[in-house]
Amino acid sequence: MASHSAHRAQEQPETEDEVSRRTFMVGAVVTVSGIIGLGLAIPIIGGLIPQGTAKTGTWSPLTKAEFGDLETATNTPVKLDFSMTTKDAYLPEETMQDYVWGIKVNPARFRAARPDIFNGPGGKADVPYNVVNMSFVLFSPLCPHLGCRYNWDSAANKFMCPCHGSQYNFDGAHLAGPAPRGLDPLPMREQKGIAELMWIRYQSTTPDRIVISYVS
């Protein structure tokens, strides 16, 4: 009999106060869960979004042997390997290997050959550093179209991208294919007898040269 009474009590409809309390508790749990999820999502999403406001990066040295190859180069670009150290808020510091393309130029002639670098909107320089240093220019190895890695074709005397057919001359000027601009230059400097470069990633698929990030 007691069991039957308990069963009937459980079947009784909830009062208005009970319904309100239960609704409040459900809403509170959902709200707290949403806040926790948002708190986790912000740093994760923030780490995935390219930072276009970076102002500086770190310098990576070239080996003396490779800089010697660049010094003796004539009309052929030199592929230059280098090591760079990367570190961010979520991953430990690590050393990565990469490469750039270097050319030896006549500064005045190169300036005339690459107006897309030196004559940006409003007549201002398109890059925030000296493109020609010690009569050398370094190019990012990433094609400005979609970021594929291009190569120097000695027979054609051109830089050529194997992905979609973009082509560039010795100075990195765009000749053919879907790339929206010429090859992107990288900063270079001489520091205590050592040549150093700075790795920069630019936005692809746009005629404007927009810095996405520096390696630091």
> Hey, what domains does the chain have and what are their CATH numbers?
2-48 (no CATH), 59-214 (2.102.10.10)
CA 14, CA 87: separation in Å to the nearest integer? 58
- pLDDT tens figures, 97-139: 889 999 999 999 998 899 888 765 544 556 778 889 989 999 9
Phi, psi angles (nearest 5°) of residue 44: -65, -50
Taking only the tens place, the pLDDT of each residue in 46-95 is 333 344 444 567 888 888 888 888 888 888 999 998 876 655 555 556 66
Residue 128: predicted pLDDT: 72
What's the pLDDT score for residue 182? 95
Render pLDDT for 162-182 as a digit per residue (tens, 0 to 9): 999 999 999 999 999 999 999
DSSP H/E element including 171: none
Alpha carbons 175 and 25: distance in angstroms, whole number: 66
Predicted TM-score (pTM) of this structure: 0.69
Helix ranges (DSSP H) in the chain: 2-11, 16-48, 64-71, 107-113, 115-118
**Which one-letter amino acid corresponds to residue 181?**
R
Q: What is the pLDDT of residue 9?
A: 46
The pLDDT-based confidence of 214 (bands split at 50, 70, 90) is confident
